[in-house]
Amino acid sequence: MRHAMIMAGGSGTRLWPMSRGTTPKQLIGLFNDTSLLEIAAQRLEGIVATEQLWVCTNQKHQDVICEKLGLPEAQLLGEPEPRDTLNAVAFTAAVLHKQDKDAIFAVLTADHIIRPQEIFAKCLATGFALVEEDISRFITFGITPTFPATGYGYVELGDSIHVDARICKRFVEKPDLKTAEEYVSSGNFAWNSGMFIFHAKTFLDALERLQPDSYHGIKKIADSWGTENQESVLEKEYPVLPKISVDYGMMEPASSDDSISICTVPMDVEWLDVGSWSSYGDTLTADENNNRSDTKATHLDSKNMLCVSSDKSHTITTIGCEDLVIVHTNDATLVFPASEAQRVKEMHGLVDPELR
């Protein structure tokens, strides 16, 4: 049976001060009061039944996510604490396999805007069909690059195995600019989207071979799932799982495992990683001076401004400013040059705990 799991465990510190401990970035209503997580769930309508939609997230966010998505608590996989993406995927695989021995599941993200929906749906359907045809396949989705990004990982595309899929030759982490330019010009590389499709049992078998320390803890969690010891075992075992990403912990070593075939489905879509205020600004319409805003804003001789507010009745005004980002909430205001976007995380670490 086809399932989908949305990873929603990130803290989103680069979107402070809107992103806080109790309301991380995937839960902020940035898009007409709709959150990135809600958008991610809406993308799956008509692709995966609601009963087969799962969310892996921090336990403290379970209640609000259930309310936002209208899901029962049983479909929320609550992590006692974050242990990176390999364990989120392994946790999901273990729970699904216990309930459905033929479970095939998509691993999706909760912090992207992906358009158009039709191409996303078509690519997901292709990925599911490829695994249904051969459960030894691990499916990745490669985004067609539009510029030589140095902040993304890449996948190298090999021979075609399907009209819409190619062999994945290797994964490459965040290249330098010259290498990224070569990748894009070759036409044989795609951005690593962080989205996958796995057969649950195949993933667990690979985990046992490639990451035995993680596997032993996950197996204990799986064995207790559905029993009266479920929560106590989860609380004991999950926080001590080795912290590692699914890319490093599974996909890279699996590319050298003869029992696994890694395939890439190229996804020719607009793919916006909303991980910073600058990237959020890319989702907004610019005026004639390249000023962007999601609230009331008036500018006098200013250009390249981004103005954001949690209070849409609040007006932000500027005079003679350039290349600034202004973020307003009811208890904090952040102002910084657009070139310093990566330092918002640093500021997050300096503020008083009650503002985090």
Among 55, 56, 54, smallest CA distance to 84 is for: 56
Q: What is the C-alpha separation between 284 and 278, in angstroms, rounded?
A: 10
**Residue 349: its pLDDT value, please?**
84
Residues 284 and 240 in one domain: no
Tell me how far apart the alpha carbons of residues 165 and 148 are, in angstroms, rounded to a whole number.
Answer: 22
Question: Rounded to the nearest 10 degrees, how much is the dihedral formed by the CA atoms of 77, 52, 10, 283?
Answer: -160
- Structural domain for 262, as ranges: 2-273
| Whether 291 contacts 277, CB under 8 Å | no
Same domain membership, residue 287 and residue 253: no
Instruction: Looking at the structure, tell me whether residues 285 and 147 fall in a common domain.
Output: no
Token pair 């009745």: residue = 313
Domain co-membership, 248 together with 293: no
Are 215 and 311 contained in the same domain?
Answer: no
pLDDT per residue rounded down to tens, the chain (356 residues): 999 999 998 777 889 999 887 788 889 999 988 999 999 999 999 999 999 999 999 998 999 999 999 999 999 999 999 999 999 999 999 999 999 999 999 999 998 999 999 999 999 999 999 999 999 999 999 999 999 999 889 999 999 998 889 999 989 888 999 999 999 999 999 999 999 999 999 999 999 999 999 999 999 999 999 999 999 999 999 999 999 999 999 999 998 888 999 999 999 999 998 889 999 999 999 999 999 999 999 999 999 999 999 999 999 999 999 999 999 999 899 999 999 998 998 998 888 665 55
* 205 and 290 housed in the same domain: no
The neighbour count for residue 14, using CB atoms within 10 Å, is 22
- Identify the pLDDT of residue 13: 84
* pLDDT in the model for residue 353: 63
Q: Examine the domain organization and report whether 217 and 341 are in the same domain.
A: no
pTM for this model (two decimals): 0.91
Q: Which of 273, 304, 338 is the last residue of a domain?
A: 273
**Per the structure block, which two tokens stand in for 149?**
């990004």
- Both tokens assigned to 282: 């890319």
What's the domain count of the chain?
2
Judgement on whether residues 80 and 101 belong to the same structural domain of the protein: yes
Q: What is the CATH number of the domain that holds 110?
A: 3.90.550.10
Residues 290 and 205 in one domain: no
- In this structure, the answer to whether residues 202 and 291 fall within a common structural domain is no
Domain end position, chosen among 217, 249, 273: 273
Looking at 273, 304, 331, which one is the last position of a domain? Answer: 273
For the chain, where are the alpha helices, taking DSSP H only? Answer: 36-42, 62-69, 84-99, 117-133, 177-186, 200-210, 212-224, 230-237, 246, 252-254, 277-281, 344-350
Instruction: Say yes or no: 287 and 172 in one domain.
Output: no
218 and 175 part of one domain: yes
